[in-house]
């Protein structure tokens, strides 16, 4: 079985591509570990998707998925794509279970993964107090003291979301200033629960079975002669890491060019990569403005571009 199109990824870009492919009656397979991507995991509140003045990322994704499920020519496979190969106009997608799936065109809509902090104890305590997903795991920390690492908008919005649950929230920022928008900073101040610590370099996350403390170095007190600052400990039971993302693009190695930040280089009209028939939509490509609505728009364009590509391919082979 050779599909017309395989879409890799189940966030706004991948789902929209699936809806458009379905409407073009393309024989399509959408491969994803789960639906939602960063929209479900990070978007506590979406206020800029047309038609929805205020909706949670999870609710918005539920609506997207409902819409996708109406497309008869689109199958969904819950799996993870690991590698893409191309031989004689046919792409082969190899999954982590070593399954090989074939298609005439491919849209990579894998989005981004959270950037790890790379502090001691981080890997050990994932799921045991450390989380990268505030909307998933936030409610578990009801009545607890927690820390959010990262003072950008993502970090501040995570901290504000946690004011619904936690008793006290520390926000630790590596740099000397908080980069979050004024409105987020103002809301944080007014919450009475959020304490911001700048110039904080997280060194270690400690615990027994679960996290119980976090150790950081205070850069302000840094002694120029020794290069080290005062080491401080916070008693926290939860740590949310919100220091940005990295594109999930390793699977496309060999078929695409990458930017310095590992984003897939695309041509900016149809989001085609340098390999004919291979497209990249959403947060993983080199375009600016990583938004839900732009990801959806790119999903649409790539599906239509894949459709045009297939028509040309078929007429050439006749």
Partner 1 sequence: MKGYFKKNNIEFEDIDISKDEKQLQKMIKDSGQMGVPVVDIDGEIIIGFDKEKIDKLLKIHPVK
Q: Catalog residues that contact partner 1 under the rule CB under 8 A.
A: 33-35, 65, 75, 77-79, 97, 126-129, 131, 136-140, 142, 165, 209-210, 238
3-state DSSP helix/strand/coil % of the chain, to nearest 5? 30, 30, 40
Q: Choose, from 47, 89, 113, 136, the residue flagged as catalytic.
A: 136
Q: 79 or 246, CB closer to partner 1?
A: 79
Q: 50 or 127, CB closer to partner 1?
A: 127
Q: Choose, from 62, 113, 137, 187, the residue flagged as catalytic.
A: 137
User: Which residue in 107, 85, 83 sits closest to 24, CA to CA?
Assistant: 107
Residue 136 annotated in active site: yes
**DSSP E strand boundaries for 41-99:** 74-78, 81-87, 90-95
SS3 137: helix
Smallest gap, in angstroms, from Cβ of residue 145 to partner 1? 14
Smallest gap, in angstroms, from Cβ of residue 217 to partner 1? 26
Smallest gap, in angstroms, from Cβ of residue 3 to partner 1? 12
* CA pair distance 163, 55, nearest whole angstrom: 19
SS3 314: helix
SS3 265: coil
SS3 10: coil
Residue 137 annotated in active site: yes
Smallest gap, in angstroms, from Cβ of residue 137 to partner 1? 6
Residue 47 annotated in active site: no
Pairing of strands 238-241, 145-149: parallel
Q: 14 or 277, CB closer to partner 1?
A: 14
DSSP state of 221: G
Q: 27 or 86, CB closer to partner 1?
A: 27
Q: 139 or 244, CB closer to partner 1?
A: 139
DSSP string, 165-204: T-SEEEEE-SSSS--S-HHHHHHHHHHSSEEEE-SEEEEE
Q: State the number of CA atoms in the 13 A half-sphere of 164 facing the CB.
A: 11
Q: 147 or 255, CB closer to partner 1?
A: 147
Torsions phi, psi of 259, nearest 5?
-80, 180
**SS3 sequence, 25-37?**
CCCEEEEECCCCH
Torsions phi, psi of 244, nearest 5?
105, -170
Smallest gap, in angstroms, from Cβ of residue 132 to partner 1? 10
* CA pair distance 188, 206, nearest whole angstrom: 26
Smallest gap, in angstroms, from Cβ of residue 28 to partner 1? 13
Q: Choose, from 4, 47, 62, 133, the residue flagged as catalytic.
A: 133
Return the active site residues.
133, 136-137
């Amino acid at each position: 079985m050779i599909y017309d199109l395989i879409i890799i990824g189940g966030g706004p870009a991948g789902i929209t591509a699936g809806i458009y492919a379905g409407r073009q009656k393309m024989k399509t397979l959408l491969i994803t570990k789960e639906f939602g991507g960063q929209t479900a995991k990070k978007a506590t509140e979406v206020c800029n998707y047309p038609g929805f003045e205020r909706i949670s990322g999870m609710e918005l994704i539920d609506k997207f998925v409902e819409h996708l499920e109406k497309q008869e020519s689109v199958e969904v496979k819950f799996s993870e794509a690991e590698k893409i190969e191309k031989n004689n106009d046919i792409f082969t997608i190899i999954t982590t279970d070593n399954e090989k799936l074939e298609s005439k065109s491919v849209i990579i809509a894998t989005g981004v993964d959270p950037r790890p902090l790379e502090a001691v104890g981080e890997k050990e305590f994932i799921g045991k107090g450390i989380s990268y997903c505030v909307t998933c795991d936030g409610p578990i920390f009801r009545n607890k003291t927690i820390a959010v690492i990262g003072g950008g908008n993502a970090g501040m919005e995570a901290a504000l979301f946690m004011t619904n649950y936690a008793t006290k929230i520390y926000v630790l920022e590596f740099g000397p200033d908080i980069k979050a928008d004024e409105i987020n900073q103002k809301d944080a101040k007014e919450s009475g629960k959020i304490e911001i610590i700048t110039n904080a370099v997280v060194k270690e996350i400690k615990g027994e079975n679960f996290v119980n403390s976090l150790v950081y170095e205070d850069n302000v007190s840094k002694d120029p002669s020794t290069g080290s600052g005062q080491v401080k400990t916070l008693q926290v039971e939860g740590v949310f890491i919100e220091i940005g993302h990295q594109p999930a693009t390793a699977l496309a190695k060999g078929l695409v060019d990458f930017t310095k930040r590992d984003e897939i280089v695309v041509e900016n009209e149809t989001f085609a990569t340098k390999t004919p028939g291979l497209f990249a939509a959403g947060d993983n490509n080199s375009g600016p403005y990583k938004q839900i609505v732009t990801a959806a728009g790119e999903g649409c364009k790539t599906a239509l571009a894949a459709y045009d590509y297939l028509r040309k391919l078929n007429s050439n082979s006749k």
